[in-house]
Amino acid sequence: MIDAFTLPEWAALAPPLLLALTALVLFAYDSINPRSTNRPVLAGVAVVGALASLVTAVWFTLAGTGADGPDAGYDLWFVVGDSVTGTGAIDLFGGQLVVDQMALFFMIVVAVVTALVAVASYDYMAGHAYQAEYYSLLLLAATGMSTMAAANSLVTIFIALELASLPSYALVAILKDNRGSVEAGLKYFLIGALSSAIFVYGISLVYGATGHLQLEAIAEMIATGEADAYSGLLGLGIVMLIGGFAFKTASVPFHFWAPEAYEGAPAPIAAFLSSASKAAGFVILFRVFTTAFPLETTTAVIGLDWTIAFIILAIVTMTVGNFAAATQQNVKRMLAYSSVGHAGYALIGLAALTVDGGELVLGAAMMHLLVYGFMNTGAFLFVGLAEYWGVGRTFDAYNGLAARAPVACAALAVFMFSLAGIPPFGGFWSKYFLFTGALEAASANSALLLVAAALVVNSALSLYYYSRLVKAVWINDADPSLDRDFGGTPTGLYAAILFAAVMTVVLLPAFGPVADLAIDAASAVLVS
Amino acid sequence: METAFELAPAIVLLPLAAFVVALLFGNYMPKKGALAGIVATAGSLLLSLYVMAAVATGGQHQETYFTWAAGDAVSETGVPTIEFTFGTLLDPLSALMLVIVSLIAFLVHVFSLGYMNDEGETGLPRYYAELGLFTFSMLAFVIADNLLMAFMFFELVGLCSYLLIGFWFRTESAPSAAKKAFLVTRFGDYFFLLGVVAIGATFGTLAFQGDGSFVAAAGEAIDNGETLFGFGAETWVTITGLLVLGGVIGKSAQFPLHTWLPDAMEGPTTVSALIHAATMVAAGVYLVARMFGYYALSPTALGIIAFVGGFTALFAATMGVVKDDIKQVLAYSTISQYGYMMLGLGVGGYVAGVFHLMNHAFFKALLFLGAGAVIVLMHHEQDMWKMGGLKDKAPIVYYTFLAGALALAGIVPFSGFWSKDEILFDAIIVGLNEPIFLAAYAMGLLAVFFTGFYTFRMVFLTFHGEPRSDAARDPHPVSWNIKFPLLTLGVLALVAGIANLAPVYKLTGLEITYLEFWLDGQYGGYADLTYSAYGDTVPFGTDYIGSETITLLIAAGLGLGLAVGGAVFAMVLYNVPEPEPHTENLGSARTVLRSNYYQDEYQVWLAENLTLPLARAADRFDQTVIDGVVNGVSSVSLFGSGRMKRLQTGVVTNYAALLIVGFIVLLVVLGVLGGWFV
């Protein structure tokens, strides 16, 4: 074995940097060749960029970048930092950014979803005027999300969050001839602005109470008791931060934008927002609350266990999302609300944290977000396929689609049953771990029993509306009076859907390593 | 030696492969999949013999292949974890059983060529596939090294017999018989499953063998006087043992769960041979032998086994006396003979019970295949009153069948005599020490007479006298594939007794007790699974009338005398050119016997008047209360869903307002809880 080639530490940021670079390449292409609709080149560049980001993130993960311990990772050709001896998390720019296992984990999620969306958009956005803008905005948003995974200071978090949000607003509204799209974009932007305001206010309060923006520094101030005098201020600041994250993760009551934005946006963008953007929201949520506000010391200062906030949010979010989804007639809207419901599930990861444990449940939430990245993206892309064929938006319009597209409909069944958490699909395992995690934590805080019960009730309810869709495509007969004219078979959309379906299934046998990785990542942030 | 043990899984997997091959390609193969089955079972037989040779040269083997679940559940005795595994346990008992099962399965496959293929049956690939699966299940059951694996394959055996009994599913009776077999044995298996769970929860292990076995753990618990689940250790062992025994009683067709077996004659006769001799029915008794160390800990359980066995032996034998269908007679003889095995095991006669299991496998397979040959000869006629005179038309069938009959009746020197005599001897010496067992012995002894009678009634009606129908006058010829299995088994029925001539040893000192040595681990095997280890545990003492020799002679004389008496009585009544149905003379007793003591009637009555109302009540509860709750939940959910949807008005200012209100509520709640506003 030759000695591994060691890259400088900043290279650990390669996944977001590659995304940013790709966005810039697209911009450059657009400025040289404006109004180009050369889709193969544009989509190709975007896909290559996303895949490059994915490959580097996976590579770093395998090489043990940012992992603790000398045995972390395999011997690979080149590594970042001195990971063979185990350097732990790589701090960059004075701790403003950090690359550790959790960051890489979410960079993978973001990159995978971006790649899928870019592939699917090739067909979906055919005949659209703003091709280069579309892909470069997509990549910019992805850069923001990828950076969110690594952000380690309230200021970088805010910048990254806005970097992710601003292109998203534009992307939702990119179908400029479509009233729904434009309206949804505006609503999204307004709610986003409001949430950002609350978020920034929260940042300022936390800064006021602790005098720091860098997360470890905040934790240190809290631990040393220097923030004791400002307990109320700090508490308000923390709740306001939660507000900002709740917007990004589409949690109740900051979820109002989601149904409209997902419905109005092009389907691949809906997939992108509901999977990658949500995951990115969660990663900073996890990081801020595990790093800056360690449970024990923070409770001592603010006089309140902040998991209570997440218990409330988790229960309310799950319930509102699933109940609102139950009777929707519009498929995309149903998926939008189900996506709100899933945010509630992932919130259990923080709700069930305890002073001396929680790796398992936090890891479970991370796993859930990974699996969700495939199954939910796939589901939205199926909607994109239906829109591509122009079959309409309601459940009734989907009746009998299986006769036309059995393969895609089989994939849809996989997504739906996985989303509902039915074995043997990936969604079952992550939900199962969340459930057991909540039950374990219930010994310390019996309110978690309520969370676990809500999880079960909502999962049961969700099976109702997910299976409705499966029934529509597989069992119900199409309305014979409809003379549907299907276009061809869009290769890109199909490829993305099938890949997502395969991953949803394959994640089951692969769940051992994935679970280990997620739990490792979770315990690393919990310890630090 | 190691090679033999490493190849052991192949014994099991070969028939499974045959199952797959026959199922998928049977239609395209010559003989419709029979060849795959024959090759596979022949391979299994050879490998089984190889394993047997390895055990005979001092080997034994236990290996866990696959742990499919492991958990941290503390058992009642304090074992912190439990594992559920698939593994093999190759010791004298399982090696012997492997040979028996694969031999019978092989012969049945060969015989099927004559019975099924040559007779132009349809659905043969399905038939051979199911035979393969059946053999696979039984072999896997035999080599199981733990109780749960045994249970799983026990169930699979039950499933396969369901499939095979119902092979002619287009008739009316076959599916019904198959269902009955399935349901009745399932009723017993329900208790078996409870027993498995109870044993697992109590001892934290389900292994049959070794220091970590539940047998060893149970022995330890009894020695330490532990209390398990509120019972004394011995009582608890009795309870769990009896729960497992529920499965045995169902599968081995012991009273009161024997009712499925006569109906199971609806399946092809080859299947009956396999079920009765080597698989389904044998599985129950084999299980008792497999975990004999556990039963040996509990005198109560042993006593119950002995009495169930003795009673069943007599009870079934009396019913066999009045049957007219040749297969029905054999069916009741099976129930009766398994009763003997249970009796033998119940009085601590481990070797005697296993010996009879082995001999019975040979002679009962022989008799069933012989009956199958008769059925072929008779153009598918099974009523013995329409037969007669086949002796001269088909001498090979006759003489082999006669060998089987002599073995079944227990006439010296045929194999059945030796094992039955040993069982009765074991029963009487225990009975002399503990008189209550004399009752069990008496039932077993009385059954000998009936056995001799019905066996020879069957032989005389079938083969002797004048032909009583056109078919009997002009029988259908049978070919080599029918004769070969008959001859093989005929020889075995005659000579298999040599394996254990215990009386000869006791009288002359000649050590012709190979089976006892074999099961005692003198060639190879685990020390805790030997006859002498069990003998130390079995809590019964023995006594003799005068000396051992005198007791032996009395017991053997009584047994043989009664058997010959029964046979002679049958000869007097039926070995005439034109036999009369003398059963008419029994009067009302005949009605009772022909109605099988109204066993079916009372079980149907129980089902109709107890289970059905109970099920109706449960159904009503389910329909009203449970469904009511479920429907209520769903309407509440849908109503709530409608309300939730209204939150989304489509007006962005409303959203902003709701967002802020929601956020402030959260803020205030948390602020008050945290005391931030003071």
pLDDT tens, position by position, B541-576: 888 887 888 888 888 888 899 999 998 988 888 887
Tokens of A263: 């419905």
Number of Cβ within 10 Å of residue A179's Cβ equals 10
SS3 of A453-505: the string is HHHHHHHHHHHHHHHHHHHHHHCCCCCCCCCCCCCCCCHHHHHHHHHHHHHHH
Average pLDDT over residues B321-332: 87
Closest-CA distance, A134 to chain B, in angstroms, reads 26
pLDDT at B278: 81
Is A85's pLDDT higher than 70? Answer: no
For residue A340, give both structure tokens: 């709100």
**Against a cut of 0.90, is the pTM above it?**
no
For an interface test with B, the pick among A189, A240, A260, A304 (most B C-beta atoms closer than 10 Å) comes out as A304
The mean pLDDT of B652-676, rounded to a whole number, is 87
Tracing tokens 């309870």 back to the chain, one arrives at B239
**Do residue B645 and residue A324 have CB atoms under 8 angstroms apart?**
yes
| Residue in A with minimal Cα distance to B648 | A256
For residue B193, count other CB atoms closer than 10 A to its CB.
19
Peptide bond into B256 cis (omega under 30): yes
pLDDT tens per residue, range A371-399 = 888 899 999 999 888 888 888 888 888 88
With a pLDDT cut of 90, the percent of chain B lying above it is 24
A239:B666 CB<8 A: yes
User: Which pLDDT tens digit goes with each residue over B95-133?
Assistant: 999 999 999 999 999 888 888 877 777 888 888 999 999
Mean pLDDT computed over B636-641: 81
Beta carbons of A243 and B652 less than 8 Å apart: no
Q: How far is Cα B208 from Cα B627, in angstroms, rounded to an integer?
A: 45
Nearest Cα to B456, choosing from B318, B573, B599?
B573
Residues in chain A: 528
Which of B343, B249, B336 shows the shortest CA–CA distance to B287?
B249
Please check whether residue A81 is in contact with residue A98, taking contact to mean a CB–CB distance below 8 angstroms. Answer: no
> Distance (Å) from the C-alpha of residue A170 to the closest C-alpha of chain B?
18
Q: Can you give the pLDDT at residue A137? A: 92
pLDDT band, residue A439 (cuts 50/70/90): confident
In angstroms, what separates the C-alpha of B86 from chain A's closest C-alpha?
21
Q: Which residues of B touch A317 (CB under 8 A)?
A: none
B91 and B519 in contact (C-beta within 8 Å)?
no
Mean pLDDT, residues A14-41: 88
Four-CA torsion A492, A495, A496, A502, nearest 10 degrees:
180
* Domain extent listing, chain B: 298-586, 590-618, 644-678
Instruction: Note whether A464 contacts B634, CB cutoff 8 Å.
Output: yes
Please name which of B292, B358, B347, B344 lies closest in space to residue B526, comparing C-alpha atoms.
B292
Which residues of chain A does B649 touch, with a Cβ-Cβ cutoff of 8 Å?
Answer: none
Of A256, A304, A308, the CB nearest to B648: A256
Total domain count, chain A = 1
CB pairs A-B closer than 8 Å: 95
- pLDDT tens by residue, A290-331: 888 888 888 888 888 888 888 889 999 998 888 888 888 888
CA torsion through residues A364, A370, A371, A377, sign: positive
Of A256, A259, A461, the CB nearest to B658: A256
Tell me, what's the pLDDT at A298? Answer: 84
Contact between chains at A191 and B647 (C-beta distance less than 8 A): no
Kind of pairing, strands A78-80 and A5-7?
parallel
Residue with tokens 């699933």: A322
Q: pLDDT value at position A508? A: 66
Report the pLDDT value the prediction gives residue B539, as an integer from 0 to 100: 82
Q: How far is it, in rounded angstroms, from Cα B558 to Cα B551?
A: 10
Q: At what angle do helices A278-287 and A359-389 cross, to 10 degrees?
A: 160
Q: Report the pLDDT averaged over residues B336-365.
A: 91
Cα A244 from Cα B195, distance rounded (Å): 57
Is residue A417 domain-resident?
yes
Number of H helices, E strands in chain B: 30, 4
Residue B343 — very low, low, confident or very high, per pLDDT cuts 50/70/90? very high
Split at pLDDT 50, 70, 90, the class of A5 is low
On whether the CB atoms of residues A168 and A135 are closer than 8 A, the answer is no
State the residue for tokens 């490059």.
A52
Mark yes or no for CB contact B640/A254 under 8 Å: no
- Residue range B351-380: mean pLDDT, rounded: 89
Residue with the larger pLDDT of the pair B382 and B101: B101
Q: Which of A194, A233, A309 shows the shortest C-beta gap to B659?
A: A194
Q: Calculate Rg over the CA atoms of chain A.
A: 22
- pLDDT tens-digit readout, B574-602: 887 777 777 777 777 778 777 778 888 88
- pLDDT, one tens digit per residue, over A137-149 is 999 999 999 999 9
Residue A160: what pLDDT? 93
Parent domain of A329:
306-528
Closest CB to B662 among A232, A236, A253: A253
Encoded tokens for B668: 């205030």
Average pLDDT over residues A466-483: 82
- Other beta carbons within 10 Å of B124: 20
CA dihedral A313, A314, A320, A324 (to 10 degrees): 140
Provide the token pair at A35: 């109004």
Residue B645 has pLDDT above 80, yes or no: no
For chain B, what is the mean pLDDT?
87
Question: CB B645 to CB A327 under 8 A?
Answer: yes
Query: What's the confidence (pLDDT) of residue B61?
Result: 87
Q: Which helix (H) or strand (E) holds B515?
A: helix B514-519
pLDDT of residue B242: 92
Residue A72 predicted with pLDDT over 80: no
Please indicate whether, in this complex, the C-beta atoms of B658 and A254 are within 8 angstroms of each other. Answer: no
Predicted confidence (pLDDT) at residue A84 exceeds the cutoff of 50:
no
Q: Provide, as residue numbers in chain B, all residues whose Cβ is less than 8 Å from the Cβ of A231.
A: 674-676
Across the interface, whether the CB atoms of A235 and B671 are under 8 A apart is answered yes
Residue partners of A82: CB distance under 8 A and separation at least 6:
A6
Structural domain contains residue A47: no
Q: DSSP letter string over A99-164?
A: E-HHHHHHHHHHHHHHHHHHHHHHHHTTT-S-HHHHHHHHHHHHHHHHHHHHB-BHHHHHHHHHHH
Query: Quick one: pLDDT at residue B101?
Result: 92
Of A303, A312, A327, which has the smallest distance from its Cβ to B675's Cβ?
A: A303
- Per-residue pLDDT tens for B434-469? 888 989 999 999 999 999 999 998 888 888 888 888
Rounded mean pLDDT, A153-166:
92
pLDDT tens digits, A388-438: 888 888 888 888 888 888 888 999 999 999 999 888 788 888 888 888 888
- Best of A169, A187, A199, A239 to disrupt the B interface (most B CBs within 10 Å) is A239
Q: Categorise residue B596: left if φ over 0, alpha if ψ from -120 to 50, beta otherwise.
A: left
Query: Is B638 in Cβ contact with A326 (below 8 Å)?
Result: yes
Four-CA torsion A129, A132, A133, A137, nearest 10 degrees = 140
Distance CA A238, CA A305 (A): 12
- Say what the pLDDT of residue A105 is: 87
Residues of A in contact with B674 (CB under 8 A): 231-232, 235, 302-304
Q: Give the bridge partners for A47, in sequence order.
A: none
Contacts of A75 (CB under 8 A, 6+ apart): A1, A4, A84
Residues in chain B with CB shorter than 8 Å from the CB of A293 are: none
Q: What is the mean pLDDT of residues A258-266?
A: 88
Compute the average pLDDT of residues B315-332.
88
Phi-psi region of B476 (alpha: psi -120 to 50; beta: other; left: phi over 0): beta
Which amino acid does the sequence have at B19? F
Residue B644 vs residues A184, A344, A393: alpha-carbon distances, Å: 20, 16, 20
- Tens digits of residue pLDDT in B610-625: 889 999 999 999 888 8
Percent helix, strand, coil in chain B, to 5, is 75, 5, 20
pLDDT for the residue numbered A1? 40
Longest dimension (CA), chain A: 73
Whether the pLDDT of residue A3 is over 60: the answer is: no
- Residue A146's pLDDT is 93
pLDDT at B47 (0 to 100): 92
Query: Which ipTM score applies to this complex?
Result: 0.86
Model pLDDT, residue B244: 92
Q: Which residues pair with A153 in a beta bridge?
A: A214
Reported confidence tier of residue A522, pLDDT bands at 50, 70, 90 = confident
Q: What distance in Å separates the CA atoms of residue A159 and residue A146, rounded to the nearest whole number?
A: 12
Report pLDDT for A2. 46
Query: A179 contacts in B (CB within 8 Å)?
Result: none
pLDDT for res B46: 93
